Amino acid sequence: MFDIVIVLAGALLGFRLLGALGVSRFATWRVSAAHAMAVMLVMTASAHFVPASVEVMPNHADLVGMVPPFVPYPGIMVYTTGVLELLGAAGLVLAATRRAAALCLVLLFALLLPANVYAAVADVPFGGDEATPLWVRIPEQLLYIAVALWAARPVPDGSTRVMRRELAG
Protein backbone atom coordinates (compact mmCIF):
# COMPACT_ATOMS: atom_id res chain seq x y z
CA MET A 1 0.00 0.00 0.00
CA PHE A 2 3.00 2.30 0.36
CA ASP A 3 3.09 2.29 -3.45
CA ILE A 4 -0.11 4.31 -3.44
CA VAL A 5 1.44 6.97 -1.19
CA ILE A 6 4.43 7.10 -3.55
CA VAL A 7 2.09 7.61 -6.51
CA LEU A 8 0.31 10.40 -4.64
CA ALA A 9 3.54 12.13 -3.59
CA GLY A 10 5.20 11.67 -6.99
CA ALA A 11 2.19 13.04 -8.85
CA LEU A 12 2.01 15.99 -6.45
CA LEU A 13 5.66 16.86 -7.01
CA GLY A 14 5.30 16.36 -10.76
CA PHE A 15 2.32 18.69 -10.97
CA ARG A 16 4.06 21.32 -8.84
CA LEU A 17 7.10 21.07 -11.10
CA LEU A 18 4.83 21.73 -14.06
CA GLY A 19 3.44 24.72 -12.15
CA ALA A 20 6.97 26.02 -11.52
CA LEU A 21 7.66 25.63 -15.24
CA GLY A 22 4.74 27.88 -16.04
CA VAL A 23 1.71 25.59 -16.38
CA SER A 24 -0.81 27.86 -14.66
CA ARG A 25 -3.23 25.03 -13.86
CA PHE A 26 -0.70 23.70 -11.33
CA ALA A 27 0.29 27.05 -9.84
CA THR A 28 -0.78 26.05 -6.31
CA TRP A 29 -0.02 23.13 -4.07
CA ARG A 30 -3.72 22.64 -3.34
CA VAL A 31 -4.78 22.27 -6.97
CA SER A 32 -1.74 20.09 -7.64
CA ALA A 33 -2.78 17.90 -4.68
CA ALA A 34 -6.28 17.55 -6.11
CA HIS A 35 -4.85 16.39 -9.43
CA ALA A 36 -2.35 14.09 -7.69
CA MET A 37 -5.19 12.48 -5.76
CA ALA A 38 -7.05 12.03 -9.07
CA VAL A 39 -4.02 10.18 -10.49
CA MET A 40 -3.87 8.01 -7.38
CA LEU A 41 -7.60 7.26 -7.58
CA VAL A 42 -7.41 6.22 -11.24
CA MET A 43 -4.65 3.81 -10.28
CA THR A 44 -6.47 2.38 -7.26
CA ALA A 45 -9.83 2.25 -9.07
CA SER A 46 -8.33 0.23 -11.88
CA ALA A 47 -7.70 -2.67 -9.48
CA HIS A 48 -11.45 -2.91 -8.87
CA PHE A 49 -11.93 -4.11 -12.46
CA VAL A 50 -8.83 -6.28 -12.98
CA PRO A 51 -9.67 -10.00 -13.28
CA ALA A 52 -8.28 -12.44 -10.73
CA SER A 53 -6.12 -14.03 -13.41
CA VAL A 54 -3.93 -10.89 -13.45
CA GLU A 55 -1.37 -11.30 -10.71
CA VAL A 56 1.05 -8.42 -11.39
CA MET A 57 -1.14 -5.98 -9.48
CA PRO A 58 -3.99 -6.02 -6.99
CA ASN A 59 -7.17 -7.27 -8.63
CA HIS A 60 -10.91 -7.55 -8.08
CA ALA A 61 -10.54 -10.77 -6.07
CA ASP A 62 -8.00 -9.13 -3.73
CA LEU A 63 -10.43 -6.30 -3.05
CA VAL A 64 -13.39 -8.65 -2.56
CA GLY A 65 -11.29 -10.42 0.07
CA MET A 66 -11.02 -7.15 1.99
CA VAL A 67 -14.78 -6.69 2.27
CA PRO A 68 -15.98 -7.48 5.81
CA PRO A 69 -18.47 -10.37 6.06
CA PHE A 70 -21.29 -8.06 7.21
CA VAL A 71 -21.27 -6.18 3.88
CA PRO A 72 -23.71 -7.69 1.36
CA TYR A 73 -22.75 -8.42 -2.25
CA PRO A 74 -18.99 -7.88 -1.89
CA GLY A 75 -18.28 -8.20 -5.62
CA ILE A 76 -20.82 -5.54 -6.50
CA MET A 77 -19.54 -3.32 -3.68
CA VAL A 78 -16.01 -3.52 -5.08
CA TYR A 79 -17.22 -2.53 -8.55
CA THR A 80 -19.29 0.28 -7.03
CA THR A 81 -16.39 1.70 -5.04
CA GLY A 82 -14.22 1.54 -8.17
CA VAL A 83 -16.78 3.59 -10.08
CA LEU A 84 -17.03 6.05 -7.18
CA GLU A 85 -13.25 6.45 -7.13
CA LEU A 86 -13.22 7.16 -10.87
CA LEU A 87 -16.04 9.70 -10.50
CA GLY A 88 -14.16 11.30 -7.62
CA ALA A 89 -11.01 11.52 -9.72
CA ALA A 90 -12.91 13.21 -12.55
CA GLY A 91 -14.54 15.60 -10.10
CA LEU A 92 -11.21 16.59 -8.59
CA VAL A 93 -9.71 17.79 -11.87
CA LEU A 94 -12.65 20.08 -12.65
CA ALA A 95 -12.59 23.29 -10.62
CA ALA A 96 -16.39 23.53 -10.61
CA THR A 97 -16.81 20.10 -9.00
CA ARG A 98 -13.58 19.84 -6.99
CA ARG A 99 -15.07 20.76 -3.61
CA ALA A 100 -18.07 18.43 -3.92
CA ALA A 101 -15.90 15.59 -5.23
CA ALA A 102 -13.36 16.02 -2.44
CA LEU A 103 -16.04 16.01 0.25
CA CYS A 104 -17.67 12.92 -1.28
CA LEU A 105 -14.26 11.24 -1.32
CA VAL A 106 -13.78 12.04 2.38
CA LEU A 107 -17.03 10.20 3.02
CA LEU A 108 -15.96 7.31 0.78
CA PHE A 109 -12.58 7.01 2.52
CA ALA A 110 -14.33 6.98 5.90
CA LEU A 111 -16.76 4.29 4.71
CA LEU A 112 -13.86 2.20 3.37
CA LEU A 113 -12.04 2.27 6.70
CA PRO A 114 -13.86 -0.83 8.07
CA ALA A 115 -12.65 -2.81 5.04
CA ASN A 116 -9.09 -1.74 5.76
CA VAL A 117 -9.44 -2.64 9.44
CA TYR A 118 -10.98 -6.01 8.56
CA ALA A 119 -8.23 -6.79 6.02
CA ALA A 120 -5.52 -6.04 8.56
CA VAL A 121 -7.13 -7.87 11.48
CA ALA A 122 -8.14 -10.89 9.35
CA ASP A 123 -4.67 -10.93 7.76
CA VAL A 124 -6.04 -10.70 4.21
CA PRO A 125 -3.22 -10.75 1.63
CA PHE A 126 -3.27 -8.01 -0.97
CA GLY A 127 -1.82 -8.12 -4.47
CA GLY A 128 0.12 -11.30 -3.74
CA ASP A 129 1.83 -9.66 -0.76
CA GLU A 130 1.27 -10.17 2.94
CA ALA A 131 -1.54 -8.25 4.60
CA THR A 132 -0.78 -4.62 5.27
CA PRO A 133 -0.71 -4.04 9.03
CA LEU A 134 -3.33 -1.85 10.67
CA TRP A 135 -0.69 0.64 11.86
CA VAL A 136 -0.02 1.38 8.16
CA ARG A 137 -3.59 1.26 6.85
CA ILE A 138 -5.17 3.75 9.25
CA PRO A 139 -2.57 6.51 8.81
CA GLU A 140 -2.83 6.07 5.02
CA GLN A 141 -6.62 6.48 5.14
CA LEU A 142 -6.17 9.56 7.33
CA LEU A 143 -3.65 10.95 4.83
CA TYR A 144 -6.11 10.50 1.96
CA ILE A 145 -8.86 12.16 3.99
CA ALA A 146 -6.54 15.07 4.85
CA VAL A 147 -5.50 15.57 1.22
CA ALA A 148 -9.14 15.45 0.08
CA LEU A 149 -10.14 18.00 2.73
CA TRP A 150 -7.26 20.24 1.69
CA ALA A 151 -8.30 19.93 -1.96
CA ALA A 152 -11.88 20.82 -0.98
CA ARG A 153 -10.85 24.25 0.27
CA PRO A 154 -11.46 26.98 -2.28
CA VAL A 155 -8.38 28.48 -3.89
CA PRO A 156 -8.29 32.21 -3.26
CA ASP A 157 -7.81 34.00 -6.54
CA GLY A 158 -9.08 37.09 -8.28
CA SER A 159 -12.14 35.38 -9.76
CA THR A 160 -13.26 34.18 -6.33
CA ARG A 161 -13.03 37.70 -4.89
CA VAL A 162 -14.93 39.13 -7.87
CA MET A 163 -17.64 36.49 -7.48
CA ARG A 164 -18.00 37.28 -3.76
CA ARG A 165 -18.38 41.00 -4.52
CA GLU A 166 -21.00 40.23 -7.16
CA LEU A 167 -22.99 38.08 -4.73
CA ALA A 168 -22.74 40.64 -1.92
CA GLY A 169 -23.65 43.66 -4.02
Tens-place pLDDT, residues 128-143? 778 888 888 899 999 9
Report the alpha-carbon distance of residue 26 to residue 24 in Å, rounded: 5
- Judge whether residue 51 has pLDDT over 50: yes
Least confident stretch, 38-47, 138-147, 152-161: 152-161
Q: What is the pLDDT of residue 150?
A: 93
Average pLDDT over every residue of 86-114: 96
Average pLDDT over every residue of 160-168: 44
- Compute the mean pLDDT over every residue in the chain, rounded to the nearest whole number: 89
- Judge whether residue 160 has pLDDT over 60: no
pLDDT 10s digits, 101-129: 999 999 999 999 999 899 889 988 877 77
At CA 103, angle to CA 169 and CA 58, rounded to 5? 150
Average pLDDT over every residue of 62-68: 93
Average pLDDT over every residue of 65-91: 96
pTM score of the predicted model: 0.86
Q: How confident is the model at residue 67 (pLDDT cuts 50, 70, 90)?
A: very high
Average pLDDT over every residue of 66-83: 96
